[in-house]
A and B are shown apart, each in its own frame.
Chain A
Amino acid sequence: MSTFYSAAEDARLTLANLTDAVTDLAVPTVRLGVTGLARAGKTVFITALVHNLVHGGRLPVFQAASGGRLTSARLQPQPDDAVPRFDYEDHVAALVNDRIWPESTRQVSELRLTIDYESAHFFNRRFGRGRLHLDLIDYPGEWLLDLPLLTKSYAAFSASALKRARAANRSSLSAEFLGLLAETKPDAPESEQDAQRLAAAFKAYLANCRSDAHALSMLPPGRFLMPGDLDGSPALTFSPLEFPVDAAAPRAGTLRAMMERRFEAYKAHVVRPFFRNHFARLDRQIVLVDVQHAINAGPAALSDLEDALGEVLTAFRPGRHSWLSSILTRRIDRILFAATKADHLHRDDHDRLQAILRRLVNRGIDHARFKGAKVEVLAMAAVRATREATLRHGGQELPAILGTPMPDERLNGDRYDGTAEIAMFPGDLPDDPAALFDRPANTATTPAGAAGPGHADPALQFLRFRPPELDRTAEGKTLSLPHIRLDRALEFLIGDRLA
């Protein structure tokens, strides 16, 4: 059944790709997927990318722009009519005028940027169109955690979800849900009320895990946290149940049968359309990771992030791009892993941040390289909110950053109001990333709920900063958004298509 289904799915994908290939003959298109777990900075990345390209920002490492070959870039109506448009204008206004970070990604959205350029090669200049559509597809990384569910049965899903819920670092968070589960008999007659209660408790547990203090990431199913328009529908009202993995098929009319049916419905109506309509049609992918957020919350959050990223990366279909393969199946031939918010660190620490990220996504890198895709790891900041300075304090030289912290951020018992500018030294990242992961057993197993972020590393503390104040020209035009290594990311992601 499932083999037949996937064959049919593949045929449909091939057909869609053939259509795309034909339209590509006129003007080539690059579909760039932008993803990352919640608050990784997806929206800011897209906004900054478009703003810098459209307004001719400072992009010295991006060869096409700095060499003067990029004639113009402008926004165009997007090709997929059923997908919401990425609200670029509002996000820019939020960043530039109100100095707040734009609202987070709640659903898939898309934006088409058309770039006119002059090729550096004689042949392409002569016969190429000199135009490229860049389709930016923004989707929540949590949804990626759903893709592995496609191959899982309900029994396997239940087993792994419960195992995670009972792990030492989550047991205090999941107590309520587990208590409810203990009272429930899977073979009891089905009841909508029971299902709703269980699902609500399960959702509450997932939401708890995601809160700042714990910053856990491995929380499938993704739609439970970002329901979109399906909120309250039966497909989103299920939860794992306690029963042996090799149990016989449930009798019709039991709670377990109902849950299993809904799980299958979730796969069919939520996961598969996302995979088919968006995910399987990407050419390039950037995965944004907020490493500092996880470091703030401690080693448990870091290793959870590692698991989640490992899971996410197995969902990609990387591979070498060839002429035939590009017509029949799309493969992601370049993946960039970017540690965002590098501006919250002094530049001396960027290499270390990169090493930590490399360690986090190690599995994915190996997988993608093996399949023939190019992979790069980068510490970047799509919008640079801070400046750098050197502090001398207590006989030490501290590499510090200057910026305005977000309202209600705290450090050393001091609370900031969102207007005061501070100079801050966040602590040194370790030279060896493993030091952040492998903690002495007693600190790693401290009940996570007990002391909030108290169990995190006291030698490292990151604050969130407000977007920077932008200079304006005499005519009141805002200058381009400052960034760190956005140009290098662009060069890697689309530089070769503009060569």
Chain B
Amino acid sequence: MTESTPPPGRQSVRKPAAFRLDDKTVQFEEEPAADPLTAEAAMSDEAGQAIALQRPAPPAGRRVRFGTWIALGFGGLASLAVGLAVDNLIRDLFARTDWLGWTGVALALLAVFGLLGLLIREAVALARLGKIDGLRERLEKAAEDDDAVAARGALGDLIALYKDRPETARNRRILSGHMREVIDGRDLVGLAERDLLAPLDSEARRIVLNSAKRVSLVTAVSPRALVDLLAVLFENVRIIRRLSALYGGRPGMLGFLRLIRHIGTHLALTGGMAAGDSLASQFLGHGLVARLSTRLGEGVVNGLLTARIGIAAIAVCRPAPFVRTRGPTVSEFMSELMKAAETGDTTSGGI
């Protein structure tokens, strides 16, 4: 590269340079200190330097959401009404006797603290879910662009996410070892999938399978449709909570609602694709089992639908995209469910 044609995208031409390590002109340093003199150089080891975090650009600005405004307005009004009522109540209590009034104040404070605590926890949970979503997007992009620097940054955060989970310690260490080597972006994400997430994935599969089995069993033996409905609802809520906890999110109430919304979107988006690959076999299977017993057939179908929700929940809760493997499919659960249905397997699950 000559001086007259500077490379695009770089500010200036950097000349080759070399320094003997036993020279006095090289300072080893942990933290960058003062700038070295012209003839000197400061050196720091590779770790940490290569991880120039490239935060993804924030998503495009949303449109004004009037629904939110309405909710905010009415919510505020309701809070004001509650506040007014409490205020009135405490005034009345003070009017009666002093100690009753103070008790009222103490109770009100307790309630406020509780509310604050709840809010903080919800906010933290939401932030955590948001972090997982962001992580998934970053890893997906890094794998797509084969960008080693971005992948290293995102994987560092992924390891941090599981830091307080001792059962992942060994796998985290393996992955950190890979990250120190020169490996390309897509391969790194694939390695994270195999070495860090694989045990979690198999656990997730087990959770979904057990829930699906329970649903199909309950449907098959329950006397009333209402019982089915409750069982299915309960199991689905349980799947989502357990999967989210497994992959590192700890959803509170709001976070849970948000997860459900994402799962709904995911199901709507992938429904069309899934129809091609598995719906036919699902109903074929249903037809076969239904010949044996209508209730058994319904049980299998309900179980499969639960499995499908579980798969969507895995896709939403997992902090990384499926890069090297394909992720669980409905047909995988199908055979297990059919087996369970035919043998009347009552030992599955843990109800």
Q: Interface on A for B, CB 8 Å cutoff?
A: 58, 60-61, 66-67, 342, 347, 350, 384, 387-396, 398, 400, 402, 411-412, 414, 420-428, 430-432, 435, 440, 443, 457-461, 463, 484-485, 488
Q: In the complex, A396 Cα to B195 Cα: how many Å?
A: 37
Checking A350, A395, A425 against B17 with a beta-carbon cut-off of 8 angstroms, the contacting residue is A425
Checking B14, B43, B183, B191 against A427 with a beta-carbon cut-off of 8 angstroms, the contacting residue is B14
| Given contact pairs A60-B178, A393-B41, A423-B41, A457 touches B14 in the complex (Cβ within 8 A) | no
Q: In the complex, A73 Cα to B203 Cα: how many Å?
A: 34
Residues from chain A with Cβ under 8 Å of B187 in the complex: 60-61, 488
Beyond the given pairs A420-B22, A422-B21, 20 more chain A to chain B contacts, judged by CB atoms under 8 angstroms and listed by A's residue number, are A60-B187, A60-B191, A347-B50, A389-B43, A389-B49, A390-B43, A390-B45, A391-B43, A398-B41, A421-B22, A422-B20, A424-B18, A427-B15, A428-B1, A428-B7, A430-B7, A443-B2, A459-B13, A459-B14, A485-B182
Q: In the complex, A400 Cα to B28 Cα: how many Å?
A: 14
Q: In the complex, A393 Cα to B23 Cα: how many Å?
A: 14
| Given contact pairs A390-B46, A392-B42, A460-B16, A435 touches B1 in the complex (Cβ within 8 A) | yes
Q: In the complex, A488 Cα to B46 Cα: how many Å?
A: 22
Q: In the complex, A460 Cα to B46 Cα: how many Å?
A: 22
Listed by A's residue number, 9 A-B pairs whose Cβ atoms lie within 8 Å are A60-B195, A347-B148, A391-B41, A391-B43, A392-B36, A398-B17, A459-B1, A459-B14, A463-B18
Checking B7, B177, B178, B184 against A435 with a beta-carbon cut-off of 8 angstroms, the contacting residue is B7
Residues from chain A with Cβ under 8 Å of B148 in the complex: 347
Question: A392 touching B20 by the CB < 8 A rule?
Answer: no
Which residue from chain B places its CB closest to the CB of A395 in the assembled complex?
B35
- How many A-B pairs fall under 8 Å by CB? 134
Question: B182 touching A421 by the CB < 8 A rule?
Answer: no
B181 adjacent to chain A (CB < 8 Å): yes
Residues from chain A with Cβ under 8 Å of B182 in the complex: 342, 347, 350, 384, 484-485
| Given contact pairs A347-B182, A485-B183, A485-B184, A425 touches B21 in the complex (Cβ within 8 A) | no
Question: B191 touching A389 by the CB < 8 A rule?
Answer: no
Residues from chain B with Cβ under 8 Å of A388 in the complex: 46, 50
| Given contact pairs A347-B148, A390-B43, A459 touches B5 in the complex (Cβ within 8 A) | no
B38 adjacent to chain A (CB < 8 Å): yes
CB distance from A338 to the nearest CB of B (A): 14
Question: B36 touching A393 by the CB < 8 A rule?
Answer: yes
Which residue from chain B places its CB closest to the CB of A411 in the assembled complex?
B18
Query: Which of A67, A384, A414, A425 has most chain B Cβ within 10 Å?
Result: A425
Chain B 20-52 interface residues, beta-carbon cutoff 8 Å to A: 20-22, 26, 32, 35-36, 38, 40-46, 49-50
Q: Which range contains the number of B residues in contact with the other chain?
A: 35 or more
Question: A426 touching B43 by the CB < 8 A rule?
Answer: no
| Given contact pairs A60-B191, A431-B7, A459-B15, A420 touches B1 in the complex (Cβ within 8 A) | no
Residues from chain B with Cβ under 8 Å of A394 in the complex: 38
Residues from chain A with Cβ under 8 Å of B350 in the complex: none
Question: B1 touching A392 by the CB < 8 A rule?
Answer: no
Checking A61, A428, A443 against B183 with a beta-carbon cut-off of 8 angstroms, the contacting residue is A61
Q: In the complex, A424 Cα to B15 Cα: how many Å?
A: 11
| Given contact pairs A390-B43, A425-B16, A457-B1, A420 touches B21 in the complex (Cβ within 8 A) | yes
CB distance from B132 to the nearest CB of A (A): 25
Question: B18 touching A425 by the CB < 8 A rule?
Answer: yes
Question: B21 touching A402 by the CB < 8 A rule?
Answer: yes
Checking B8, B13, B19, B191 against A432 with a beta-carbon cut-off of 8 angstroms, the contacting residue is B8
Question: A412 touching B16 by the CB < 8 A rule?
Answer: yes
CB distance from B315 to the nearest CB of A (A): 24
Question: B32 touching A392 by the CB < 8 A rule?
Answer: yes
B9 adjacent to chain A (CB < 8 Å): yes
Q: In the complex, A425 Cα to B184 Cα: how many Å?
A: 22
| Given contact pairs A428-B1, A428-B7, A391 touches B20 in the complex (Cβ within 8 A) | no
Which residue from chain A places its CB closest to the CB of B49 in the assembled complex?
A390
Which residue from chain A places its CB closest to the CB of B27 in the assembled complex?
A392
Question: A389 touching B45 by the CB < 8 A rule?
Answer: yes
| Given contact pairs A392-B41, A394-B38, A423-B26, A428 touches B14 in the complex (Cβ within 8 A) | yes
Question: A421 touching B1 by the CB < 8 A rule?
Answer: no
Question: B44 touching A428 by the CB < 8 A rule?
Answer: no
Which residue from chain B places its CB closest to the CB of A436 in the assembled complex?
B1
Residues from chain B with Cβ under 8 Å of A390 in the complex: 43-46, 49
Which residue from chain B places its CB closest to the CB of A391 in the assembled complex?
B41
Which residue from chain A places its CB closest to the CB of B148 in the assembled complex?
A347
Q: In the complex, A435 Cα to B13 Cα: how many Å?
A: 14
B165 adjacent to chain A (CB < 8 Å): no
Residues from chain B with Cβ under 8 Å of A414 in the complex: 18
Query: Which of B1, B10, B182 has most chain A Cβ within 10 Å?
Result: B182
Residues from chain A with Cβ under 8 Å of B17 in the complex: 391, 393, 398, 412, 424-425
| Given contact pairs A61-B183, A423-B19, A431 touches B9 in the complex (Cβ within 8 A) | yes
CB distance from B19 to the nearest CB of A (A): 5
Q: In the complex, A412 Cα to B15 Cα: how many Å?
A: 11
Question: B178 touching A422 by the CB < 8 A rule?
Answer: no
Question: A389 touching B9 by the CB < 8 A rule?
Answer: no
Which residue from chain B places its CB closest to the CB of A491 in the assembled complex?
B187
Residues from chain B with Cβ under 8 Å of A387 in the complex: 46
Question: B13 touching A428 by the CB < 8 A rule?
Answer: yes
The 8 closest A-B pairs by CB, nearest first: A393-B41, A424-B18, A388-B46, A461-B16, A427-B16, A392-B42, A390-B49, A459-B1
Residues from chain A with Cβ under 8 Å of B12 in the complex: 396
Q: In the complex, A457 Cα to B42 Cα: how many Å?
A: 26
Question: B40 touching A60 by the CB < 8 A rule?
Answer: no
Which residue from chain B places its CB closest to the CB of A462 in the assembled complex?
B16
CB distance from A222 to the nearest CB of B (A): 33
Q: In the complex, A430 Cα to B194 Cα: how many Å?
A: 35
Q: In the complex, A395 Cα to B34 Cα: how many Å?
A: 11
CB distance from B196 to the nearest CB of A (A): 12
Question: A60 touching B181 by the CB < 8 A rule?
Answer: yes
Chain B 44-72 interface residues, beta-carbon cutoff 8 Å to A: 44-46, 49-50
Q: In the complex, A422 Cα to B23 Cα: how many Å?
A: 9
Chain B 303-345 interface residues, beta-carbon cutoff 8 Å to A: none
Q: In the complex, A309 Cα to B38 Cα: how many Å?
A: 43
Residues from chain B with Cβ under 8 Å of A435 in the complex: 1, 5, 7
Residues from chain A with Cβ under 8 Å of B18 in the complex: 411-412, 414, 422-425, 463
Q: In the complex, A390 Cα to B52 Cα: how many Å?
A: 13
Q: In the complex, A463 Cα to B18 Cα: how many Å?
A: 10
Residues from chain B with Cβ under 8 Å of A398 in the complex: 14, 17, 41
Question: B43 touching A400 by the CB < 8 A rule?
Answer: yes
CB distance from A343 to the nearest CB of B (A): 8
Residues from chain B with Cβ under 8 Å of A430 in the complex: 1, 7
CB distance from B249 to the nearest CB of A (A): 28
Q: In the complex, A443 Cα to B195 Cα: how many Å?
A: 52
Checking B16, B36, B40, B195 against A459 with a beta-carbon cut-off of 8 angstroms, the contacting residue is B16
Chain B 278-314 interface residues, beta-carbon cutoff 8 Å to A: none
Query: Which of A387, A389, A395 has most chain B Cβ within 10 Å?
Result: A389
Binary contact track B104-138/A, C-beta < 8 Å → 1, others 0: 00000000000000000000000000000000000
Residues from chain A with Cβ under 8 Å of B21 in the complex: 402, 420-423
Which residue from chain B places its CB closest to the CB of A414 in the assembled complex?
B18
Question: A391 touching B191 by the CB < 8 A rule?
Answer: no
Question: B10 touching A421 by the CB < 8 A rule?
Answer: no
Checking A384, A423, A428 against B43 with a beta-carbon cut-off of 8 angstroms, the contacting residue is A423
Q: In the complex, A150 Cα to B187 Cα: how many Å?
A: 42
Residues from chain A with Cβ under 8 Å of B15 in the complex: 427, 458-459
Residues from chain A with Cβ under 8 Å of B32 in the complex: 392
Checking A391, A458, A459, A461 against B19 with a beta-carbon cut-off of 8 angstroms, the contacting residue is A391
Q: In the complex, A248 Cα to B1 Cα: how many Å?
A: 50
